[in-house]
Structure 1
Amino acid sequence: MHRRTALSVSAALLVAAPLLSACSSAEVHPGTAAVVGGERITTAALQAQVKDVRTAQGRDERSAQLIESSAGLERVKLGKMIQLRVLEKAAADAGLSVSVKDVEDVRKAQVAQAKGTAELEQAALQARVPLAPDQIDGEFRFQLLLGKLSDRFGEDKVLVPLAAAAKELHIEVNPRYGAWDVKQIAIGDAETPWVNQRTRPEQAPAGA
């Protein structure tokens, strides 16, 4: 695995912020949360991701606090699902990919850093965009794709291929989830630009 694509549990999982949520003026069919590249993201698929997180939160001793701190989870999760498709399109256009082994290598490193799988899962559940245990590998893949694109184009220019990919995908989102900001490729009120979520091994963990 490329040295710069290693992730920090504290930075990659605990500091992750809501990224993309989309809305165009076009109508979407009932039962559809979004259409990306002609493919539907169903409300059922979205709600399944939310349910997984809520179930995991419900098992935690700080359940009420975790649920309260993750209000608007449907919108956030839809944003991440859309972002992943944008990343995949941009990476494919650039001839880049992330293998299963790449993800496995990151998981091993993160489990070691967190000093156990249970600790890693707890950290993921406390993320600003909380992750259920079965969603962690997807987040690693997300970060690796973004890392490879940033390596190829530069962190200050990676928005160019991402914007091009998003445009080609003709993203339509059910208006109930928010408004699409074409220029920022992000939800309008996002606190942190999503391209800045990428981390490097030399960065100190949050709170260190």
Structure 2
Amino acid sequence: MPGKSVKVVVAAVVAAGALAGCGGQTRVGTAALVGGDRITVTSLDQTVRDWRGQFKDDPVANQIRANSSGLAPGLADQESETDMEGALSLLVNFRVADRVARDAGVSVPDGLADQTTALMDQRGGAGSITLASGLPRSRTRDLARFIATQTAVMQKFGADLGNAQSPLTVQAAQQWGLKFQKAARDMHIKINPRFGRYDAAKVDIGPVVYDLSSAETGTDGA
């Protein structure tokens, strides 16, 4: 299943340098490459700056994030060391989800994303939920589409969307997770070592682990 940042989002909705890696280096200023799609450091920096400015002034977002992370209200915004990694992980996983849908032959109409946004508004506010996930309000539509994509794919796999505890829903969720991991592996995701390393098994960005052959080169050893 998607990593920790995405889990915060799903829980909220339900409850309320140079880049180096496999194949060598890419252009300076790249935060991630996802199936050939480039996320720049500049755009990531701006995304996180926008998020920080909005998040600190949104008490609902702070409460949602605190409830999901186990931090006391008002302390969630102190996790600054993970802001960049969390935002980048979501931006990467948005692209992976699109690949999962394509591989499964599932289309995600705009109407389903609209319905998801409306649901988020009913469960604490779409903008606040987006902020709680670690992204600015401008990314609300992207987040809604991600959730809508998971809903559509799980529905194809036989999920009973009216019963989250149904064996059919649990099985569909497991299939979604496996398809997500496979898509992430197939897309050969590369992360700038400044931000960590993408783990396709966890579909999340974690710390770079250097070995003797890569410690002096700055590569991620992929």
87, 96, 104: which one aligns with 1:77? 87
Deviates more, 1:63-72 or 1:104-113: 63-72
Q: SS at 1:34's partner residue?
A: strand
1:185 is aligned to 203
Q: SS at 1:98's partner residue?
A: coil
Letter in 1 for 2:127: E
1:160 is aligned to 178
* 1:141 and 2:139 matched: no
Letter in 2 for 1:121: G
Deviations 1:149-184 (A, max 9, x none): 233342122233223322332211111111222333
Segments of 5+ residues of structure 2 without an aligned counterpart are: 1-8, 63-72, 158-171, 208-222
* 1:121 and 2:127 matched: yes
Structure 1 Cα separation of the partners of residues 95 and 10 of structure 2: 25
Structure 2 Cα separation of the partners of residues 83 and 23 of structure 1: 19
Radius of gyration: which is bigger? Answer: 2
Contact in 1 for aligned 2:33/2:189 (Cα 8 Å): yes
Segments of 5+ residues of structure 1 without an aligned counterpart are: 1-8, 16-21, 190-208
Structure 1 Cα separation of the partners of residues 25 and 96 of structure 2: 21
Q: SS at 1:187's partner residue?
A: strand
Q: SS at 1:72's partner residue?
A: helix
Structure 1 Cα separation of the partners of residues 29 and 36 of structure 2: 15
**1:113 positional shift:** 4.3
Identity %: 27
157 and 83 in structure 1: CA distance in 2 versus 1, 3 angstrom threshold: same
Structure 1 Cα separation of the partners of residues 122 and 199 of structure 2: 38
28 and 173 in structure 1: CA distance in 2 versus 1, 3 angstrom threshold: farther
1:12 is aligned to 12
Contact in 2 for aligned 1:37/1:171 (Cα 8 Å): yes
**TM-score, normalised to structure 1's length?**
0.67
Deviates more, 1:70-79 or 1:58-67: 58-67
Structure 2 Cα separation of the partners of residues 70 and 88 of structure 1: 28
The size of the alignment, in residue pairs, is: 169
Structure 2 Cα separation of the partners of residues 165 and 101 of structure 1: 25
Deviates more, 1:54-63 or 1:68-77: 54-63
RMSD across aligned positions (CA): 3.1
66 and 185 in structure 1: CA distance in 2 versus 1, 3 angstrom threshold: closer
181 and 112 in structure 1: CA distance in 2 versus 1, 3 angstrom threshold: closer
13, 22, 26: which one aligns with 1:28? 26
Letter in 1 for 2:150: L
**TM-score, normalised to structure 2's length?**
0.63
